[in-house]
Structure 1
């Protein structure tokens, strides 16, 4: 069983806070769950814990409080970050237009010994590794521990842009062990220090936090090509995010559009213009950190990128710790996200829906999609733009019979529902009670009357799918959405591809906390519908606004 040793020197951080605020944190006695203390001028001071935020004092933060903290910490760098000598704590400033500090985020820095046990074999393999994950999920903590472990028998250089890995001051924190640390005078010069580290200090391993600019991506490739092991983090939650980021996609080989010959296109069974990986990836292994105890590992980044670009499921490995600290390594079962329209780049959700080994006879339940994520009327409205086209039937599964999809039809002909289901080889069970249903399928006319059955379904969180008319074609299209299937044809639609790229970029802004909502460009009904579906995959809310032809989708967080 894994044992963790955590050191945070929290008293050093509390001692720079105003006394009454520091005492309020101590009184709560939840130091192990404390993430940061937030002081904003004219607002109540807050403490952010792993399970939520709490107000520390019933008084507003004053300029005196701000200056009390600023006078007791180091100087703020160009990135508005400061620290406390020989600790890992970080204080970030918010300034007004005149440059005066009006807010502080005092983040607790911790050294967690043992955090990389779950990937220690990969760290020691000598391969270059890229860590992805949302802010606060533990990427920097892993980097710090990796530096300490590798420095026991290798020459390790840390390129520490904001002093987050090695702490503030000229002497690195003991958490990085024997690793040497190169500080970066300005964030914009990080790429130069990366190259300098290789040229001047002969490292065997270079560790970098947050590769976020194109020059840094180029420097990373230069380092990897010189045979130096590179361990770094980057912006983005998943490999798919990275592929769609034009600035950082080079880290995983980049993407380019290639025109195939007629013969090659027929051999592959694709359209003539396809997306291909442009070059070998900079990193050999990519690790998606879903949370502190749960990781997805792409052992062969090149193969994973190629699979995604060809609409196939990448070969990944799930690693997680259970409540007793035991490490499990499994091959997860993925749910495929909707292959959005005719986009040449399919989208996959890295969401695990099974965390135990899959037995050959295990039933496969249909995907459950929350009806509250996207307004049902929005989806029904955009359904009007969906052309009636044949749908590709799924390949037969060798995993035994699946549990029937339980459908409550409202205003649908049951014989047409069964005929449509036969196209996909999916057993359908028509139920008589709402509470027994996996999904509700109704017509546009019935939905607008909003009968009591729909109200009950919404109250129970059962997905509601609306079809334009009571025809086999419309029901087939609806079932394809429920089963996450793609149209049989594979023609490329450049306008749809651009619209989905815009939606993906907006989603990343919201997930990264850069915006509360984003308005997309006006599109036709079919494209808007695909944007709604993409937002729903990321558990975000979306609605359509405006009138045709200027109707657009707005995506925002819950």
Structure 2
């Protein structure tokens, strides 16, 4: 562990330095809170504690702010070549009335419990409350990917929390490169710039929070680059209920089923459904530091959750003196079940339930479809076809295609596409909405 704690303590007033230097729980310090007119307080892993009987004055705050870097527009500052973060509270006259000095640590070996997930080359989203250690985890992930797996890693460091307050990145990220962001609202632009200019294999982003950042993450995922990101929340359901972030896991939409389909499924006519392929294939919930919940197949977890079905989640527990323990628990969705039997979707996946009888697909499976996709997500198309067991090839040339599939409203506007399709005798199939159900139904009806 590397925390450079001495460099933070030496920036504090002398009466606080002396107390902290000899504190028995110094290594467990999380943050120091200094508010004008109040006693200084330290928050340890064991709980909060006052550091002195003396109250904080203007002079104490001024002493600290003169010894650290300048505060950004986000009211954050740091200490050169460390991972510590100092955030300030201002009054209406923009004068500093409070400081939160958060200890930044580079802890090696913290991600050994998910080493297998990193080697899968799939995108990983880390979900957790503020202060649970998400930034520390992705810092170590950056080091492992860059140093041990020898990948080209770029860290998008918006507030210099991941790689420290310096133009020279902290050793905690290893050989990974760091791109700083001048303003928080420009993070999505830097994400796209990293792809276009520096050819990374992995991009690491801390605190994805806006719609533009979500859109940039989806764009990066479509380009085949591995993503590792963090966002705030307690569990998978939080993302579903958070509209700006829902697109990270494919987005959610209402779908109206036909009377026959609703009767067959034994559901209501209006149901919730995943809209597209998730930008992140794996999701990790961190509510406790030594126990993480893993969703190794996000799309399946989402589909089961939306249909009100119970699903299995993997829990990985670890400690310094014991081996990693992996167990599974059955979780019941809070959305409620529309179907009578809760075990049907555990035994069958979402696709199998929505497929027609197998004999209707015999003819389709026996030949290879050469598909020209128009205004459709290639990832979603591949997912549907693979689950249905259909042999296919995606092409960019209309003359080689055996069929064209696209969104109806876009196909209607593209007269050149229709003209070329007629010229080469290629049939055009269209869907009203781009979602799993529409594509499955379409391929079921192709003869």
Residues matched between the structures, number: 341
Deviation per CA, 1:165-184, whole angstroms, max 9, x where unpaired? Answer: 00101000001000000000
Q: Choose which of 98, 110, 114 in structure 2 pairs with 1:115.
A: 110
8 Å Cα contact 1:73-1:82 kept in structure 2: yes
Structure 2 residue 213 is matched with structure 1 residue 216 = yes
Structure 2 residue 144 is matched with structure 1 residue 149 = yes
Counterpart secondary structure, 1:295:
strand
Where do 4+ consecutive residues of structure 1 move more than 4 Å?
A: 392-396
- After the TM superposition, which residues 368-447 of structure 1 pair with which residues of structure 2 at under 5 Å, given as runs? none
Partner of 2:241: 244
Structure 2 residue 245 is matched with structure 1 residue 277 = no
* Whole-Å separation in 1 of the counterparts to 2:282 and 2:142: 17
Partner of 1:452: none
> CA offset at residue 346 of structure 1?
3.9
**RMSD between aligned residues:** 1.8
Distance 1:395 1:16, change over 3 A: closer
8 Å Cα contact 2:310-2:342 kept in structure 1: no
> CA offset at residue 315 of structure 1?
2.9
> CA offset at residue 333 of structure 1?
4.0
> CA offset at residue 290 of structure 1?
2.0
* Whole-Å separation in 2 of the counterparts to 1:79 and 1:346: 41
* Whole-Å separation in 2 of the counterparts to 1:264 and 1:187: 46
> CA offset at residue 395 of structure 1?
8.0
Q: TM-score, normalised by structure 1?
A: 0.60
Partner of 1:268: 265
Partner of 1:259: 256
Distance 1:154 1:253, change over 3 A: same
Deviation per CA, 1:254-279, whole angstroms, max 9, x where unpaired? Answer: 11011100000011110000000011
* Whole-Å separation in 2 of the counterparts to 1:346 and 1:321: 33
8 Å Cα contact 1:25-1:47 kept in structure 2: no
Partner of 1:12: 7
Structure 2 residue 297 is matched with structure 1 residue 300 = yes
Q: Mean Cα displacement is larger for which, 321-330 or 19-28?
A: 321-330
Partner of 2:311: 314
* Whole-Å separation in 2 of the counterparts to 1:117 and 1:126: 16
- After the TM superposition, which residues 508-523 of structure 1 pair with which residues of structure 2 at under 5 Å, given as runs? none
Deviation per CA, 1:485-541, whole angstroms, max 9, x where unpaired? Answer: xxxxxxxxxxxxxxxxxxxxxxxxxxxxxxxxxxxxxxxxxxxxxxxxxxxxxxxxx
Q: TM-score, normalised by structure 2?
A: 0.74
Partner of 1:169: 166
Deviation per CA, 1:314-348, whole angstroms, max 9, x where unpaired? Answer: 332111114623101111244x47x4xxxxx349x
* Whole-Å separation in 1 of the counterparts to 2:188 and 2:311: 31
Partner of 1:104: 99
Q: Choose which of 182, 204, 207 in structure 2 pairs with 1:185.
A: 182
Counterpart secondary structure, 2:237:
helix
> CA offset at residue 393 of structure 1?
9.6
* Whole-Å separation in 2 of the counterparts to 1:270 and 1:64: 67
* Whole-Å separation in 1 of the counterparts to 2:75 and 2:307: 43
Partner of 1:56: 51
> CA offset at residue 145 of structure 1?
0.5
8 Å Cα contact 2:201-2:225 kept in structure 1: yes
Counterpart secondary structure, 1:125:
coil
Q: Choose which of 74, 81, 85 in structure 2 pairs with 1:86.
A: 81
> CA offset at residue 146 of structure 1?
0.5
> CA offset at residue 67 of structure 1?
0.7
Structure 2 residue 72 is matched with structure 1 residue 72 = no
Counterpart secondary structure, 1:211:
coil
Deviation per CA, 1:58-90, whole angstroms, max 9, x where unpaired? Answer: 011001111111000011111111100100000
Distance 1:393 1:148, change over 3 A: closer
Deviation per CA, 1:372-395, whole angstroms, max 9, x where unpaired? Answer: xxxxxxxxxxxxxxxxxxxx7988
* Whole-Å separation in 1 of the counterparts to 2:261 and 2:234: 34
> CA offset at residue 23 of structure 1?
1.5
Distance 1:264 1:224, change over 3 A: same
Counterpart secondary structure, 2:299:
helix
* Whole-Å separation in 2 of the counterparts to 1:227 and 1:315: 28
8 Å Cα contact 2:313-2:330 kept in structure 1: no
Counterpart secondary structure, 1:317:
strand
* Whole-Å separation in 2 of the counterparts to 1:257 and 1:116: 37
